[in-house]
Structure 1
């Protein structure tokens, strides 16, 4: 009994980690916030919480409902593409006038907590890829487990998100000395802009049926 629960836990942890540890829009944002030391705990906590809620809904059967209503997917796809295009434009604009980190300073113009929260929620909830990973994929795999095994599988997947987001957010500060140089910010913002637009382009292709 205990061995089965532990196995389900690690299977959830492994699947969650394999899906979340990738360069994407959400991870790029978390990395940037960690380097700038802007509301790091809030960012990591919200990303983890959103994943936990979506995983719970997926294992509870929401993935099946979403698959049965294509219009929901279409709305999410175009909303996500628009958001990523706008954020990518902002990243490219920032690359033209990068900020530097001096000593313990985090930014000349600190970002408001409200703005940070809204941006995290947008990255977490407007990206169809997030729903595909957490609700549909993890949810569909989780439905094959029963009773406590399913619960431990879900906990394992949520634990992967917890470990990853906090490690990424707080580990990013070790890169802070590098980002005292304007060129480093140009490279980072340019990369983030490219990632945002590449993902947006993939969503547009899906939305147009190409």
Structure 2
């Protein structure tokens, strides 16, 4: 069980570490909300979405869906357009922390966090291809330990990300550091979208 637990922690941390739409959003909410508690809707929603994806991957349901070629291509195409749009949105956004600046409401946080978590094809493919595939070698208590470790890493990461954003937000009142992070994240998101385009083209040519 210890091996499964450690495997899940390392694997989940490796997948969630790179900058992306989800991570940038949680970080920015931690920085821009008046206190850390106000960013909880984003954190909880992202954690619940990741939990759902991990459970679906481990149970094998998501792997079954991924075998339907047309559906998989549709998800990828929609996700690529989503990533291109989100990359531009993040690139063009200007962060400037002001006490009087309006903050995103809990409802908007929930909707946005759900969209960046469930409409990101790269995250979905990683969950299916890496976590889902890795879980096959485990059964019973070992599989449960592997699953719970992956889920725990997601929740701990999002809480830590919001807290880090809060600290940076207090220090970086001009928003300079956050703008740099946004620009870097946008570039990474666009690169991911291009990578998915190549995957989709290869899959389409293979099917033909």
Do they fold alike, i.e. is TM over 0.5?
A: yes
1:209 maps to 202
Q: Is the Cα contact below 8 Å between 2:80 and 2:121 reproduced in 1?
A: no
Q: Map of 1:158-173 to 2, 5 A cutoff?
A: 158-173=151-166
Deviation, 1:181, is 1.7
Cα distance in 1 for partners of 2:179, 2:3 equals: 44
Of stretches 126-135 and 165-174 in structure 1, the one that deviates more from structure 2 is: 126-135
Unaligned runs of 5+ in 2: 204-208
2:97 maps to 101
Q: Map of 1:15-164 to 2, 5 A cutoff?
A: 15-37=11-33, 39-94=38-93, 98-102=94-98, 105=99, 108-164=101-157
Q: Is the Cα contact below 8 Å between 1:88 and 1:193 reproduced in 2?
A: yes
Unaligned runs of 5+ in 1: none
- Count of residue pairs the alignment pairs up: 200
1:8–1:192 distance in 2 versus 1, CA, 3 Å:
closer
Deviation, 1:124, is 0.8
**TM-score with structure 1 setting the length:** 0.84
Cα distance in 2 for partners of 1:186, 1:124 equals: 22
1:209–1:135 distance in 2 versus 1, CA, 3 Å:
closer
SS of 1:35's equivalent? helix
Taking only aligned residues, the RMSD between alpha carbons, in angstroms, comes to: 2.2
Runs of 4+ in 1 over 6 A off after TM superposition: none
Cα distance in 2 for partners of 1:11, 1:181 equals: 40
1:149–1:204 distance in 2 versus 1, CA, 3 Å:
same
